[in-house]
Amino acid sequence: MYEPWDIREKHVMSRRRGPVNKILKLNVRDRDTLLRAPLFAGLPPLVAKKVMDGVTVTSHESRDILFRDGDMSENFFCVLSGFVRLYRLSRDGREADIGLFGAGEIFGECVMFADGCYHMHAQTAEPATIARFDNAKIKALAEREPELAISLMNIMARHLQQARDNVANDRLHTAPQRVANYILEQCPADQASASFRLPFQKSLLAGKLGLAPEALSRAFSLLKQSGVSVRGRIIQIEDVDALRKI
Amino acid sequence: MYEPWDIREKHVMSRRRGPVNKILKLNVRDRDTLLRAPLFAGLPPLVAKKVMDGVTVTSHESRDILFRDGDMSENFFCVLSGFVRLYRLSRDGREADIGLFGAGEIFGECVMFADGCYHMHAQTAEPATIARFDNAKIKALAEREPELAISLMNIMARHLQQARDNVANDRLHTAPQRVANYILEQCPADQASASFRLPFQKSLLAGKLGLAPEALSRAFSLLKQSGVSVRGRIIQIEDVDALRKI
DNA sequence: CGGGTGCTTGATACCGATCAACCCACGTGG
DNA sequence: CCACGTGGGTTGATCGGTATCAAGCACCCG
């Protein structure tokens, strides 16, 4: 969608337009977000403190590049606010999204247990604040604190399932089906009708589902027939059960 | 490809045609395969012994079902010989492969760190022998033995990368490109020409690459123009560098 | 020889990417 | 106040890629 030479893409180190990404102090609100994040769920306070200890926080405007395919990895990350998109580039410059992470979610963690080198790009999809952990330190800590190791394994297991969900979803379902699935995931299962607000732009959702924005748009307009109405980011579902049958 | 009611699909518990899956003693050769497997790489002998201790080994004919989508998970597995295919079913019975594992490879491990319930089917794709580990026991052991935890994290990290590779590959590349990529992965990078033998049936490769068998066949015939010749399972590449440019 | 299995080849249909035009909301500057 | 540009989204037309269906081929094995 956006080429590497696109002006809108700004590297984390560039300061072309003033303070693109400030280094912040960890404020109470961000600290709270972190403590609720799955990485810290189940950690004894003492271990949590140690993990929290080496964290650095940065703020970014939209479309900042956090790392690139091929970069050596010294950090993994947690989103504190905004969204971050992981993607790959083909040789001819097309992009494929392989992950989208919102507040409280970890990304880039798997690299420190693999070859130490990112195999994807990471870009903020909105203005965002990001917490950054030191690979070496956390890895060493995980060897001493089993609860941390378990946390990391839980996270990677979930990410693995999500990635496989994507593969299966792409291979088995058409665009309207994928969209219907996504909508259903956002709905509480027990209600007849529902309504929610997209947490991000439609073009991001399109990427997440492996669709061109046009295809998402057409899928939405087709789902109107099944009682899905979309206005802006608000999505209303008349009959959740009917949607399940798509 | 094969429907759930297909005769060729045999559940692990069924004995319709004699001893479909025997429980075996761990012989020296299998023990050796295990010890070379990534799960045991880096484990101190004492820990390896503990992990090895609870393992059970079964032998299966082709197309045995090892577990089903929705089954509760009490085990994860290591392939000792043969191949195992992980896949999802769509509501209308089509299958999508999400993993293919050969000798020495672990599968089903992520479930014990997620919700404890398989979200896929597993089927032998050839006659196979399978080692089976107890989730609860290994998970408990991983909390006491950091090397084991690290091993598991390495494995999951690799699996995560593979799954994301699949997503990106599906979304960015055409059938001939995916096949060329696969061929290149099997070739040593430094040689001008190469040749190797497919370790499994072409239809399995097709599934792994997210293609119908027909599409794989067509891709091969198109790659002839680029100096790839296929006879049976033998694949010869005239010019590896030329293939990279596809 | 017959039958099964795996694979190939051909014809067709469908899905979604791509390109182009347009709409709308918003902000900016004359 | 309006002219304009910009970004996000929609809509339409077209094209390419792959699934699907159907038929035929090659090989193995009883």
pLDDT tens string for chain B (246 positions)?
433 333 344 444 433 344 456 787 778 899 999 999 999 998 999 999 999 998 999 999 999 999 999 999 999 999 999 999 999 999 999 999 999 999 999 999 999 999 999 999 999 999 999 999 999 999 999 999 999 999 999 999 999 999 999 999 999 999 999 999 999 999 987 888 999 999 999 999 999 999 999 999 999 999 999 999 999 999 999 999 999 988
How confident is the model at residue B113, as a pLDDT?
Answer: 97
Return the nearest residue to D10, CA–C1'. A217
In terms of phi and psi (left: phi > 0; alpha: psi -120 to 50; beta: otherwise), the region of A82 is: left
Residue B40 contacts by C-beta under 8 Å, 6 or more apart in sequence?
B34, B48, B51, B52, B151
SS3 of A131, please? strand
Question: Is A63 touching B (CB cutoff 8 A)?
Answer: no
Cβ contacts of residue B96 below 8 Å, gap of 6+? A167, A168, A171, A172, B87, B88, B90, B210
Contact A66, A120 (CB under 8 A): no
Asked if B172's CB is within 8 angstroms of A88's CB, the reply is yes
Shortest CA distance to B208 belongs to which of B165, B160, B152, B240? Answer: B165
Residue among B76, B81, B56 at smallest CA distance from B116: B76
Partner residue opposite B113 with nearest CB, options A154, A168, A171: A154
Distance CA A89, CA A77 (A): 21
Residue A116, number of CB atoms within 10 A of its CB: 12
Determine the distance between A183 (CA) and C17 (C1') in angstroms.
23
pLDDT at A16 over 80: no
Please work out, in degrees rounded to the nearest 5, the angle formed at the alpha carbon of residue B100 by the alpha carbons of B239 and A101: 95
Protein-proximal nucleotides of chain D (any atom < 7 Å from a CB): 7-13, 17-22
Closest nucleotide over all strands to A232 (CA to C1') = D9
What is the pLDDT, as a whole number, of residue B12? 41
Nearest to A33 by CA among A1, A74, A71, A77: A77
Task: Tally the C-alpha atoms within 13 A of residue A244's C-alpha that lie toward its C-beta.
Answer: 12
Q: Is the CB of B170 under 7 A from strand C?
A: no
How far apart are alpha carbons A237 and A220 in whole angstroms? 11
CA distance B132 to B143: 20
Q: Is B101 exposed, middle or buried (0-12, 13-18, 19+ CB in 10 A)?
A: buried
